[in-house]
Amino acid sequence: MSPALDVDALIADPQTRIVVTCGAGGVGKTTTAAAIALRAAEQGRQVVVLTIDPARRLAQALGLTELDNTPREVAEVEATNGGRLDAMMLDMKRTFDDVVLTQASPEKAQQILQNPFYIALSSSFAGTQEYMAMEKLGQLHAQAVKDGSWDLIVVDTPPSRSALDFLDAPERLASLLEGRFLKLLLAPARGPLRLMSAGFNVVTNAMTKVLGAQVLKDVQTFASAFETLFGGFRERSEQTVSLLRQPHTAFLVVASPQNDALREASYFSERLRTEQMPLAGVVLNRVTTSAVPLSAERSLAAAEQLTDSDEWPLTAALLGLHAERMQQVTGDRKRSDRFRRGHRAVPTVEVPALADDVHDLDGLRQIGDLLAG
Partner 1 sequence: MVTGKGGTGKTTVAAALALALADDGTNVLLVEVEGRQGLAQLFDVPPLPYQERKIAVAPAGGDVYALAVDAEAALLEYLDMYYHLGRAGKALDRFGVVDFVTTIAPGLRDVLLTGKVYEATRRRVRGEFVYDAVVLDAPPTGRIGRFLNVNQEVAGLAKVGPVRTQADSIMKLLRSRQTAVHLVTLLEEMPVQETLDAVEQLQALDLTIGSVVVNMVRRSPLDDDDLALAAKEKLPIAEIAKGLAAAGIGDGRTTAGTLATEARDHAIRVGLERENRQRIDALGKPVHELGLVPDGIDVGAVFDLSEELAEARSDR
Q: Specify the residue, 16 or 21, whose C-beta has the smaller distance to partner 1.
A: 21
Which span sits near partner 1 by CB under 8 A: 64-72, 142-150, 173-181, 239-247?
173-181
Q: Which of 67, 145, 176, 187 binds partner 1 (CB under 8 A)?
A: 176
Contact 70, 88 (CB under 8 A): yes
Distance in angstroms (rounded) separating the CA atoms of residues 126 and 348? 31
Residue 283, beta-bridge partner list: 254, 349
Sign of the alpha-carbon torsion through 352, 353, 358, 362: negative
Q: Does 121 bind partner 1 (CB under 8 A)?
A: yes
Minimum Å gap between C-beta 163 and partner 1 is 12
Rounded Cα distance, 58 and 52, in Å: 12
Site for partner 1 in 337-366 (CB under 8 A): 355-357
DSSP state for residue 192 in the 8-state scheme? G
Q: Is 206 in the site for partner 1 (CB under 8 A)?
A: yes
CA distance 249 to 269: 15
CB under 8 A, 24+ apart: contacts of 263-270: 264/23, 264/24, 264/162, 264/163, 265/23, 265/24, 265/163, 265/339, 266/339, 266/342, 266/343, 267/162, 267/163, 267/164, 268/22, 268/23, 268/163, 268/164, 269/343, 269/346
Instruction: Note whether 12 binds partner 1 by CB under 8 A.
Output: no
Interface of this chain with partner 1, residues 279 to 298, rule: CB under 8 A:
290-292, 294, 298
Residue number, 86 or 156, with CB nearest to partner 1? 156
Site mask for partner 1 (CB under 8 A), range 125-154, x = bound: xx----------------------------
**Segment lying near partner 1 (by CB under 8 A), choices 7-15, 41-49, 232-240, 302-310:** 302-310
CB of 138 to partner 1, least distance (A): 22
Residue number, 207 or 277, with CB nearest to partner 1: 207
Q: Which helix (H) or strand (E) holds 21?
A: strand 18-22
Q: What is the CA radius of gyration of the chain?
A: 25
**Cβ closer to partner 1: 2 or 290?**
290
What's the closest the beta carbon of residue 248 comes to partner 1, in angstroms? Answer: 32
Q: What burial class does residue 6 get, using C-beta atoms within 10 Å of its C-beta: 0-12 exposed, 13-18 middle, 19+ buried?
A: middle
Which of 4, 305, 334, 342 contacts partner 1 by CB under 8 A? Answer: 305
230 binds partner 1 (CB under 8 A): no
Stretch that binds partner 1, among 6-14, 40-48, 105-113, 198-206 (CB under 8 A): 198-206
Question: Which residues of this protein are in contact with partner 1, per CB under 8 A?
Answer: 25-26, 55-57, 116-117, 119-121, 124-126, 159, 161, 176, 179-182, 184, 199-200, 202-203, 205-207, 209-212, 214-215, 218-219, 259, 290-292, 294, 298, 302-303, 305-306, 309, 311-312, 314-322, 324-325, 327, 355-357
